[in-house]
Amino acid sequence: MTLLPIRAQKAVAGLALFAALLVTAPAWTQPAWAQSTTPAAETVAQAVPMSREDIEKIVRETIVKNPEILQEALQELEKRASADEDKRRRQALAANRELLINSPKSLVIGNPKGDVTVVEFFDYNCGFCKRALTDLIELVKTDSKLKVVLKDFPVLGDSSVQAATVALAAKLQANPAKYFEFHQKLMGGRGEATRERAMAVAKDVGFDMARLTKDLASPDVMAALQENFRLAQDLGLTGTPSYVIGDDVVVGAVGLAKLQDQIKAARAACQGENC
């Protein structure tokens, strides 16, 4: 059995709904494109109501003769959905701006008073996040006006959650430089990021391990994770890495050049104000 692609199925469903609406309308009502202002035509239309079978036959014949209708319907559907999603996301960005760029639960690297902020949602077990790490390091190294906010968004299973828990507990020791070293080693290392591996990296970097072990149970750690997941949900983020740069959301490991272009555009749009 051959199945239509999901997007084509949506277009067909839309046409089916259209047909259903016609069928469930009063029997004497004709579609707008079939109506006439002449009394004679109206009399004929009322005298010959269209059955469900008639409507379905017309729709089927129209699709068979004009298959491009499906593509046109699909394109319009996607266009409207994209516009709606863009509007909703911009509203979410505006509503959550303060938490995105100034939340005390997130760690900041680069220039804390930078004129443009890059917010990254990441997972320590995300292969694309690992690939994007070198881009992040280069951005911080070459742009002295850039502020980067790191938000743990462990979506790849329990190991990711455990690694993020260690990272957020380490963050409570308030040492950005040491944390970024930890972040680079855990993200850049081989193998799965687990609690055990994260603890080993933290020890190697020089964190207070007694305090770190205690802070693993801190309510601040869970609060930070909950905040990050709520923000991601509001923004419609489902994967990592995802970035918020100015008024735009950038999804995926898009490369250094793309990130630099987005930062440049955000800087121009802000016109001297921090964003």
Output 258-265 pairs: Cβ under 8 A, ≥24 positions apart: 259/118, 259/135, 259/139, 260/139, 263/116, 263/118, 263/139, 263/143, 263/146
- Under-50 pLDDT residues of the chain: 1-4, 19, 21-37, 44
The pLDDT assigned to 72 comes to 79
39 and 107 together in one domain: no
39 and 72 together in one domain: yes
Residue from 139, 134, 96 nearest 267 by CA: 139
- Cβ burial of 94 (10 Å; 0-12, 13-18, 19+) is exposed
87, 121, 140: which is the final residue of a domain? Answer: 87
How many domains is the chain built from?
A: 2
> Can you give the residue range of the structural domain that contains 42?
6-87
75 and 101 together in one domain: no
The pLDDT assigned to 181 comes to 95
Condensed to tens digits (0 to 9), the pLDDT of residues 163-210 reads 999 999 999 998 888 999 999 999 998 899 999 999 999 999 999 999
Judge whether 156 lies within some domain: yes
87, 120, 153: which is the final residue of a domain? Answer: 87
The pLDDT assigned to 161 comes to 97
Q: Are 199 and 212 in contact (CB under 8 A)?
A: yes
d(CA 103, CA 232): 14
The pLDDT assigned to 32 comes to 45
Judge whether 92 lies within some domain: no
The pLDDT assigned to 48 comes to 59
148 and 177 together in one domain: yes
24 and 82 together in one domain: yes
Judge whether 120 lies within some domain: yes
28 and 112 together in one domain: no
31, 54, 87: which is the final residue of a domain? Answer: 87
Q: Are 70 and 14 in contact (CB under 8 A)?
A: no
81 and 104 together in one domain: no
Cis peptide upstream of residue 104 (ω within 30 degrees of 0):
no
107 and 65 together in one domain: no
Judge whether 1 lies within some domain: no
CATH number of residue 266's parent domain: 3.40.30.10
Tell me, yes or no, if the pTM score tops 0.85: no
Strand order in the sheet with 146-152: 107-110, 146-152, 116-122, 242-245, 248-251
81 and 108 together in one domain: no
43 and 22 together in one domain: yes
180 and 107 together in one domain: yes
The pLDDT assigned to 67 comes to 78
d(CA 15, CA 80): 16
The pLDDT assigned to 6 comes to 53
77 and 180 together in one domain: no
